[in-house]
């Protein structure tokens, strides 16, 4: 089974790119973030035409929004209210092979990496803390957690560790929060399970760098984690970098995991 996660930055604008991604990667399950569409306007028809007969989504006007597209049946799994808001940053499904799949869009956190000065940064840290507590309180199960976590934890998850230490997405306080979440529920960072930590891996390049790849100033913000119980079934993980160079690209590219279903 192949699972991909992609911050698509408007699902309605990106249908042609989604079709191309699916034609090349042939995923069984697609997790999207930043769909930017209310539920009653979700383009289900066009996505069913791509072979996904089972679609669940949680969206709102203009911002955020998550979706899971699947070729096999899925059942909506439990979510919760995060940080007292209803801002469409999480959706979960039970897959037909018994895996519980969680798709997250973690708050970006604004520009100032200080939770007393910046409400958005506080929201991000609070969200991560709630994720940690929530998963810690659950009984053990075979789980996969994907999404735009908006944190690049390792030195070679950013183009310059030194220059990004004070930039939101790579500050020690966020990285510590992400590692705490990772360790509390025995998650494996599947991309780094297959790609050694000294090799740079990026999934996002700002639109403000005029040409891609240019100087390759990227960050690895998008992740696929699996519980350690799934380790024997992990086959391959990677990043579909080329999508950043297409016409009308998202600023993020798909990340994929192959797992024995």
Q: Which helix (H) or strand (E) holds 172?
A: helix 172-184
Helices (H) and strands (E) in the chain, counts: 6, 14
Query: Angle CA(129)–CA(92)–CA(48) in degrees, nearest 5?
Result: 145
Q: Return the range that interacts with DNA (CB under 7 A); candidates 22-30, 47-55, 104-112, 174-182.
A: 104-112
Q: Which of 107, 113, 153, 218 binds DNA (CB under 7 A)?
A: 107
Of 35 and 185, nearer to DNA (C-beta) is 35
Rule CB under 7 A: is residue 136 a binding residue for DNA? no
- Give the count of residues interacting with DNA (CB under 7 A): 19
- Tell whether omega for the bond before 133 is within 30 degrees of 0, i.e. cis: no
CB 93 within 8 Å of CB 68: yes
Q: Which of 61, 81, 85, 166 binds DNA (CB under 7 A)?
A: 61
Q: How far is the CB of 9 from DNA (least distance, A)?
A: 5
Q: Which of 62, 160, 163, 183 binds DNA (CB under 7 A)?
A: 62
Rule CB under 7 A: is residue 10 a binding residue for DNA? yes
Of 36 and 192, nearer to DNA (C-beta) is 36
Rounded distance between C-alpha atoms, residue 31 and residue 5, angstroms? 5
Report which of 141, 148, 151 is spatially closest to residue 78, judged by C-alpha positions. 141
Rounded distance between C-alpha atoms, residue 53 and residue 47, angstroms? 8
Q: Which of 1, 36, 47, 218 binds DNA (CB under 7 A)?
A: 36
Rounded distance between C-alpha atoms, residue 9 and residue 24, angstroms? 20
Q: Return the range that interacts with DNA (CB under 7 A); candidates 102-110, 137-145, 170-178, 188-196.
A: 102-110
Q: Return the range that interacts with DNA (CB under 7 A); candidates 35-43, 93-101, 154-162, 186-194.
A: 35-43
Rounded distance between C-alpha atoms, residue 93 and residue 31, angstroms? 10
Rule CB under 7 A: is residue 50 a binding residue for DNA? no
Rounded distance between C-alpha atoms, residue 149 and residue 235, angstroms? 23
Rule CB under 7 A: is residue 110 a binding residue for DNA? yes
Positions that interact with DNA (CB under 7 A): 9-10, 12-13, 36-38, 61-63, 107-108, 110, 120, 150, 207-208, 210, 248
């Amino acid at each position: 089974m192949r699972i991909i996660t992609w911050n698509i930055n408007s699902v309605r604008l990106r249908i042609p790119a989604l079709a191309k991604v699916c034609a090349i990667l042939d995923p069984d399950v697609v997790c999207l973030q930043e769909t930017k569409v209310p539920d009653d306007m979700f383009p289900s028809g066009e996505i069913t035409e791509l072979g996904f007969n089972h679609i669940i989504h949680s969206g709102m006007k203009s911002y955020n929004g998550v979706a899971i597209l699947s070729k096999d049946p899925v059942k909506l799994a439990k979510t919760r209210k995060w940080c007292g808001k209803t801002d469409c940053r999480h959706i979960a499904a039970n897959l037909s092979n018994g895996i519980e799949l969680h798709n997250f869009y973690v708050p970006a956190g604004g520009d100032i990496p200080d939770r007393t000065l910046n409400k958005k940064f506080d929201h991000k840290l609070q969200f991560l803390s709630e994720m940690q507590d929530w998963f810690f309180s659950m009984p053990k199960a075979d789980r996969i957690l994907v999404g735009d976590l908006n944190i690049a934890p390792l030195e070679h998850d950013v183009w310059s560790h030194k220059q990004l230490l004070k930039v939101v997405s790579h500050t020690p306080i966020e990285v510590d929060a992400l590692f705490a979440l990772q360790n509390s529920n025995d998650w494996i960072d599947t991309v780094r399970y297959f790609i050694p930590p000294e090799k740079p891996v990026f999934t996002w390049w700002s639109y403000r760098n005029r040409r891609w790849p240019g100087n390759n100033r990227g960050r690895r913000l998008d992740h696929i984690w699996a519980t350690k119980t799934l380790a024997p079934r992990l086959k391959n993980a990677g990043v579909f970098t080329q999508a950043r160079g297409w016409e009308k690209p998202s600023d993020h590219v798909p990340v994929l995991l192959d797992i024995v279903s």
